[in-house]
Amino acid sequence: MVVVGAGIAGSCTALALRRQGASVTLVEAHDVGHMRAASGGEHRLLRSSHGTDELYTRWSRHARAGWLELGALVGERLFLPCGVLVLASTADCAWEDASAATLARLGVPHVIVPAEDIPVRFPTVHPGGLKYAIWETESGAIYSQRCVIRTVEQFRREGGRFVRAKVTTDEHERPLLDGQPIRAGLVVMACGAWMPMLFRRTLGRLLKNYRQDLIFLATPDADERWLSSEHPGFIDHHLGAYGVAADAGLGFKVGLNLREQPIDVDNEDRMPDPTVIARMRRYVAFRYPALAPMPVLEMRVCQITCTPDTHFLIDAHPDHADVLFVCGDSGHLAKHGPMLGEYAARVALGEQETDPRFRYGDRSGVSLADRPQ
């Protein structure tokens, strides 16, 4: 088998296939962990709140164990156990209510923190407009770039073959390597943001790439409350914000889940948008007022590759049964990496059919009961 793309999806799928005994070649056009990949940044949140959706809640827990196991295997910390604070707005907290119920039903450790207690437990957080918070005590963040690199290294240690090469497609959307059809029983295409360009006819309208700007703020001197050892990551869905506390020399990370501006992943300069930076600063001034005067230390521009309904795409090409799509991160694939890899491997090996939510097709008419991922 051949897996194309060595990001989170491709590397985890390749390792899972290899562990099932398959002969696997992993092909990547760039350096493993390169900064143009969606998984090329320092860290990504891992949380279990997914509204009423038990599948993703279970997946995140399974994936957390997978990242911990890989970290123990390679002797490096891949998971940051800082916890995650999910902030529930007084204006609309139906998704958070459903998440709390699902966590309780599945036995996922969490604490419901009433709004009046938030400043006591988390004195850096301004509780304005909040009804309560879900504190996921065992969640946190993965060191995403490090996770990719170590997964590929482990794949090679376990007998997988890695090739640095660029894969293209022909007019019929068959994968080509060095201009020749790839000879393999199955080709898994996990090329992230490059999938809409490789498969313009089938995926050009299904997958959209959006810019995702991030800032890392300095924190007050000698104030350990802003460190990941003391401060959980956070998701503020009603205001579209998320972030990770200062860790490993990085500042306090803040992002807005805007999904407004398309991005050319091959040719566009990775320069943050000043307007978006100003919007992030306004958010920080409201929710984390002590950080309002602090300078921006670093900025990042990455991307999110979205499906219309935010579910992943794990299914065969409609015209080529020997080509399997594994893509559509929609901003929440990285945390699920080990579980997604195991699932995609089972689909690739014919051990199970893909779930209806992951099938190829027109998803534009789908209306989700829960908030987008």
Q: Does position 65 have pLDDT exceeding 70, yes or no?
A: yes
Instruction: Compute, in degrees rounded to 10, the torsion defined by CA atoms 130, 134, 137, 138.
Output: -130
Q: What is the mean pLDDT of the chain?
A: 95
Q: How many CB atoms lie within 10 A of CB 35?
A: 13
- What is the enclosing helix (H) or strand (E) of 146? helix 144-157
CB 184 within 8 A of CB 161: no
Residue 105: which H helix or E strand, with range? helix 94-106
Q: Which amino acid, 324?
A: L
Query: Is pTM beyond 0.85 here?
Result: yes
CA distance 348 to 20: 11
346 has a pLDDT exceeding 60: yes
Angle, in degrees to the nearest 10, between helices 54-74 and 337-348: 100
Report CA Rg, the chain.
Answer: 20
The pLDDT tens digits for 202-222 are 999 999 999 999 999 999 999
Residue 307 burial class via C-beta count within 10 angstroms: exposed 0-12, middle 13-18, buried 19 and up = buried
Instruction: Report how far residue 296's alpha carbon sits from residue 226's, in angstroms, rounded to the nearest whole number.
Output: 15
Q: Convert the pLDDT of each residue in 2-39 to its tens digit.
A: 999 999 999 999 999 999 999 999 999 999 999 898 88
Q: Which residues make beta-bridge pairs with 3?
A: 26, 188
The pLDDT of residue 370 is above 70: no
Mean pLDDT in residue range 339-362: 96
350: left (phi over 0), alpha (psi -120 to 50) or beta: left
Alpha helices by DSSP H, listed for 75-143, are 94-106, 118-121
**Which positions ≥6 away from 268 have C-beta within 8 Å?**
none
Q: What is the mean pLDDT of residues 238-243?
A: 96
pLDDT at residue 143 greater than cutoff 90: yes
Check residue 371 and give its pLDDT.
47
pLDDT at 270 over 70: yes
The tokens of 249 are what?
């020399």
Whether 125 and 119 have beta carbons less than 8 Å apart is answered as yes
Q: What does the pLDDT look like over 278-335, one tens digit per residue?
A: 999 999 999 999 999 999 999 999 999 999 999 999 999 999 999 999 999 999 999 9
Cα(85)–Cα(122) distance, rounded to whole angstroms? 10
| pLDDT the model gives residue 365 | 56
Tell me the domains of the chain and their CATH numbers. 2-42+144-204+308-358 (3.50.50.60), 83-140+208-306 (3.30.9.10)
**DSSP label at residue 239:** G
Query: What's the confidence (pLDDT) of residue 39?
Result: 82
- Residue 222: HSE in the Cβ half-sphere, 13 Å Cα cutoff: 0
The predicted model gives 112-127 an average pLDDT of 97
The closest alpha carbon to 333, from 343, 322, 348, 346, belongs to 343
Whether the predicted pLDDT of 111 surpasses 50: yes
- The answer to whether residue 248 scores a pLDDT higher than 90 is no
- CB-count exposure of residue 270 (10 Å: 0-12, 13-18, 19+): middle
Question: pLDDT-derived band of residue 88, with 50, 70 and 90 as boundaries?
Answer: very high
pLDDT of 243 higher than 60: yes
Share above pLDDT 70 across residues of the chain, in percent, rounded to a whole number: 98
Q: Which DSSP symbol is given to 35?
A: T
Instruction: Return the structure tokens found at 59.
Output: 């997946």
